[in-house]
Structure 1
C-alpha cells in the first residue's frame, strides 16, 4: 500500500506507526518546509514532496492521510476523494458542520472510503469502560471525568483557547458522548497564557442522571510531555485510568478498579490508540473490517466541540446553558 501523508506537524505521530508496518510499502510526505521534510526522510526513510496537487492525484497512491491544519481538512478530503482516493482525516473532521457535511456528501457520491481519526474509540481502556457501561458490570455510570495535560510537543501548535477544543478536547468529547449522549447543559471556563502559547479549559456537561467533566491543559513544561486519563464512577465501583506519553501518543497506561472488594489493576490488551486506529483503517481497506469511524459518526461530538470552541473564543458566551 502506498500512502500520501499530508502534514509535518501531527503527521509525525502517524509516520511513526506507518514506519513499523510491513503492509505499508511506500509513504510520501507532503509539507511546505524543506527542513521539516528532511526529518521525515532521515528518520523514517520516507520520500517527500512540496507538490500537493501532484501527490493527491498520483494514480499509485492508495490512501491520503490528511494531517494538515483543521481548516484545510474538508477541502483536501473532497479533492482527494474526487481524485479517486480513500482518505483518513485527522480529527476534527472540519471547522464547520457545513464542511463536515460536504465531506460526507462527497464520500457518498464517490463511493470512496473515508475515515476520521477518532482514536479514542480504539483505546483499550476506553473500550473496557464502554463495555462495562453497556453490561452494567459495576452498576450504573454516574459520572465521568476526563483529563488531558500536555506540553507544547508539536511545532506550530500553540494550543491556545482558539484551538484547545478542536485539537485537544474533541477526542474526549467523542468518548463522553458515545457513553452518555448529547448533554442537556454545557458550562465552559478557560484561561490562556499571556503570550497565547498554551491554555487550559474545563467543560462540565450535565445529563438527567449523570454528569461529565472534560478538562485539558497545554500549559505543562516540556519534561511533563503528555499525561491524562479518566475517572468513571459507577454505583458499585470507580474505574481510574492514567496515561503518560510523548508526542506520538505512545507510552504507559494503567487502569484500576476500586470496588468494595479492594483495588484491582485491570489487564488490558496491548496497543495504543493511534496504532490501533490505523490497524482498523488498513483492515477496512483490505476488506477485513467494516468502517467504524466514518465521517457521519463524528458529527455528534463535532457539534459539541464547535459549541465549546465558540464559548472559549467568545468569553461573554461562556456561561451555563
Structure 2
C-alpha cells in the first residue's frame, strides 16, 4: 500500500496513524511549505514533495488522502479519481451539494472507492448510542445535545464563523442526522473573536417528536486541547458522554447510563476513532469490508452543515466580542 497524503495541517493527524501501521509500505506527503514538510519528514520519516500533479498521477500510488483546505476537496478528489486512484477525503466532502454530487458521479464513472472521514462514526460511544437508538432499548430518543470545544490546534485552521460549521460541527451534524434525520427547523446563534481566530455557535434543531442542540467553540486556550461529549435523553434513560482529547483525537472518555433505578458506567473499547477510520479504509481496499463512509451517506449531514455555515456568515446571526 502506497499512500499520497495531501496536506500538512490536519494531515498530521492522518500521518500519525499511518506511521503505526505495518500494512502501509510508503507514504508521500504533499505540501506547499518546506518547513512544514521537513517537520513531518523528521517526525514520521515520510518522503515529501511539492509537486501535486506528479504525486496524484504516480502509477504506484494506491490511495490519495486529501487533507487540503476544504474548498480544494472536491476538485482534488475528482482529479485523483480520474487518475485511477481510490480517495479518502477529510471532512467535509465539498463546499456545495453540486460539488459533492460531482465527486459521486466521477466515482461511479471511474469505478473507484471514495471514503469521507466520518471519523465520529467509529467512536465507541457514538456506536453505542446509534445501536441503542436503533434497537429502542431505552424507548424513543427525545433530545440530543452535542457539544465540542477546542483550542486552535491545527496550522491553517482558525475556526472562525466562516469555517466553524464546515471544519468542526460537521461530525456532530452527522451524528444528529443519522439518528433523527433532516430537521424541520434550524436556529443559529454565534459569536466570534475579532479577526476571526476562534468562534462559538449554538444550533438548535427541531423535529416533530424530538429536538437537538449542537454547541461548538474554538475559543479554548491551547493547553485545553479538545473536550466535549453528548447527552441523549430517551423516554426511559439518559446516556451522557464526557470526552477530553489531544489534536490526534487521543484521550479519555466516559459514557454513563442513567435510569430511574441506577447510574451505571458503561465500559467502552479504547479505540481511537481516526485509527479505526483508517483501519476501515484499508480493510475496504483489501476487500475485507464494505465501505461505511461513502459520499452518498455523507450527503444529509453535508446539507445541514452548508445550511448552518451560510447562517453563520450572515451578519445578523453573529456578533463580535
TM-score by length of 1: 0.98
Closer/same/farther in 2, CA of residues 244 and 317 from structure 1, 3 Å limit:
closer
Map 1:71-150; keep pairs closer than 5 Å. 71-150=71-150
Separation in 2, partners of 1:245, 1:120:
13
Q: Is 1:12 aligned to residue 8 of structure 2?
A: no
- SS class of match (2:158): coil
Q: Secondary structure at the match of 1:269?
A: coil
Shift of 1:235: 1.2
- Deviation of residue 317 (structure 1)? 6.6
Matched with 2:162 is 162
* Secondary structure of 2:248 counterpart: coil
Please tell me whether the aligned partners of residues 77 and 103 of structure 2 are also in contact (alpha carbons under 8 angstroms): yes
Deviations 1:73-128 (A, max 9, x none): 01010000100100000010000111101100000000001000011111110000
| Deviation of the 1:315 alpha carbon | 3.1
Q: Which runs of 5+ in 2 are unaligned?
A: none
Q: How does 1:284-295 map to 2 (within 5 A)?
A: 284-295=284-295
Residue equivalent to 1:306: 306
How many residues are treated as equivalent by the alignment? Answer: 318
| 1:254 CA displacement | 1.0
The runs of 5 or more residues in structure 1 that have no matched partner are: none
**How far did residue 236 of structure 1 move?**
1.1
1:201 counterpart = 2:201: yes
- Give, in angstroms, the shift of residue 195 of structure 1: 2.4
RMSD (CA atoms) = 0.9
Cα distance in structure 2, aligned partners of 1:293 and 1:285:
13
Alignment of 1:1-321 (within 5 A): 1-316=1-316
For residues 223 and 73 of structure 1, the distance between their equivalents in structure 2, rounded to whole angstroms, comes to: 30
Distance 2:315 2:289 in 1: 44
Hey, what's the Cα distance between the residues in 2 that align with 1:44 and 1:265? 37
Instruction: Tell me, in whole angstroms, the C-alpha distance in 1 between the residues paired with 2:203 and 2:120.
Output: 18
Contact between 2:152 and 2:218, CA under 8 Å: does it hold in 1?
A: yes
3-state SS in 1 of match to 2:194: coil
**Helix, strand or coil at the partner of 1:73:** helix
Q: TM-score, normalised by structure 2?
A: 0.98
- 3-state SS in 1 of match to 2:54: helix
